[in-house]
Structure 1
């Protein structure tokens, strides 16, 4: 597996996402006085790769870790960093509920049947950790409710709770001077506890929040960094679906018709058809 790293902006270095075992983007924001780490990684092995890269680049090691949400792929590397952890209060609550688990096969099966994680997550945990799963979950040290700011010296980071379908505790991280907005997985559909779904109103609210930053870089945790223009273009179809669902609700044919007119095409791409299904799944029954 090749590992890709990038100096995204003057203060920001990222480790790109790897999809084989669902490793999200990790970021180090290096100020004059402090370095902040965004997300812990999905395992100590994942964390160690990024640590080595930062050492090799001569970057000051992180002194504080900020979590975007509780999901395993963003938090299970915590132990390897041994840093003070900042997280939303709901992130702390969920991580606390997972602390005593042994992560055996039967434990994973129970978590899936209880809707706490998905089959995909269980499979990725098995792949990332193998059969011996010594997974230790630490409690965050600093919990916040709405937003919290970090002055790292010459660069300020703001961690803001935004919620959404993917996870109620989802937060975004804005690196002010570099105009970089880390979205975590906030714009993803719900993945645990039922079918994948998007609530149109929640999605549009998040999109409006993201666009409001007018960032130079938009970074989703399992994607590749995009310029503001690329990000808006990439999400235009999804925004159109959400707006159509707001108007037509259950009427899937009308929504499909709107999308065909929008794209001036007789066929919709597979990802947008799937997107329509996600939005439809969240429409309240009549």
Structure 2
């Protein structure tokens, strides 16, 4: 079972679990209120975090922010019943999911896959998470921002900032200033809906530049482990080199692969080359 961890003076997280695609959930605890980052992929996921926070005497959240609209980050909202903050594009996407027949999960997800809002992996993970219980209630956030928004929680301040990217164009960072913790959501990931996985070099490099502009000591990706800044830089160094090779050589796959020789992550990076090649062919889309 996932166990809550305190990763900084004001930040508690429930680690990711990959079997049913549960992302990291975080509670940023100030002297006046607690901010929840992401709602979880189901009411059961949300309840687990609630129960573990209570067991450790941590103040429960008063307010929720979403890093993006994907089901694994938002479908636990009904269990929290909190004022919810999200980017305009996040709200627009979730509105499209309201009123769908989730009891017919397979056919609903097939239709969403055709619309570029789900995938075969979505069905697999949702079946694992929900089982026979398909009582899914999609909640639309009621507090909307366009670029960024700041929160004073009492002794600790946070910023939610829209950054976009390949994974989904509504992706946001959440920065906890006093603790120097930066949550990336899934912003660095490839696109996962609407066809084969894709990356674009300029999106990836722009996001890396944005990350390194923050005064952050700890970097947290939603489906990974929290990493100190130095470890994060080391982990992303070869991926950055690949993105720069793609910028330099474009569709010349042979020259890109040749440039990868000697890199320790060469197997994963070779797969990523395919994502970049697919990205060069893919027409832009919002969500």
Structures share fold, TM-score greater than 0.5 = yes
Shift of 1:141: 1.1
Give 3-state SS (helix, strand or coil) of 2:5's partner.
strand
- The answer to whether the 8 A contact 1:112-1:122 is kept is no
Shift of 1:281: 1.3
Aligned to 2:285: none
Aligned to 1:144: 145
Aligned to 2:29: 30
- Measure the CA separation in 1 of the matches of 2:203 and 2:68: 17
Shift of 1:284: 4.5
- Measure the CA separation in 2 of the matches of 1:129 and 1:101: 16
Equivalence map 1:67-106=2 (5 Å): 67-103=66-102, 104=104, 105-106=106-107
- The answer to whether the 8 A contact 1:214-1:228 is kept is no
- The answer to whether the 8 A contact 1:14-1:26 is kept is yes
Aligned to 2:276: 279
Shift of 1:26: 0.2
Shift of 1:174: 0.2
- Measure the CA separation in 2 of the matches of 1:172 and 1:86: 13
208-217 or 138-147, larger mean C-alpha shift: 208-217
221-230 or 211-220, larger mean C-alpha shift: 211-220
- Measure the CA separation in 2 of the matches of 1:108 and 1:127: 14
How far does the alpha carbon of each residue in 1:166-219 deviate from its partner, in whole angstroms, 9 at most, with x for none?
A: 011000100000000000000000000011011100110001001111411100
Shift of 1:4: 2.7
Give 3-state SS (helix, strand or coil) of 1:282's partner.
helix
Aligned length, in residue pairs? 280
Aligned to 1:225: 226
Shift of 1:119: 0.5
How far does the alpha carbon of each residue in 1:240-263 deviate from its partner, in whole angstroms, 9 at most, with x for none?
A: 0100000000111111111115x3
- Measure the CA separation in 2 of the matches of 1:69 and 1:109: 21
Shift of 1:107: 1.2
Shift of 1:282: 1.2
Aligned to 1:156: 157
Shift of 1:270: 1.8
- Measure the CA separation in 1 of the matches of 2:142 and 2:72: 19
Question: Which stretches in structure 2 are left out of the alignment for 5+ residues?
Answer: 283-287
How far does the alpha carbon of each residue in 1:8-59 deviate from its partner, in whole angstroms, 9 at most, with x for none?
A: 0000000000001000000000001010000000000000000001101111
- The answer to whether the 8 A contact 2:158-2:177 is kept is yes
Give 3-state SS (helix, strand or coil) of 1:283's partner.
helix
Cα RMSD of the aligned pairs, angstroms, is 1.2
Aligned to 1:185: 186
Question: Which stretches in structure 1 are left out of the alignment for 5+ residues?
Answer: none
- Measure the CA separation in 1 of the matches of 2:231 and 2:164: 24
**TM-score (ref. length: structure 2):** 0.95
- Measure the CA separation in 2 of the matches of 1:106 and 1:249: 38
- Measure the CA separation in 2 of the matches of 1:114 and 1:179: 38
**TM-score (ref. length: structure 1):** 0.95
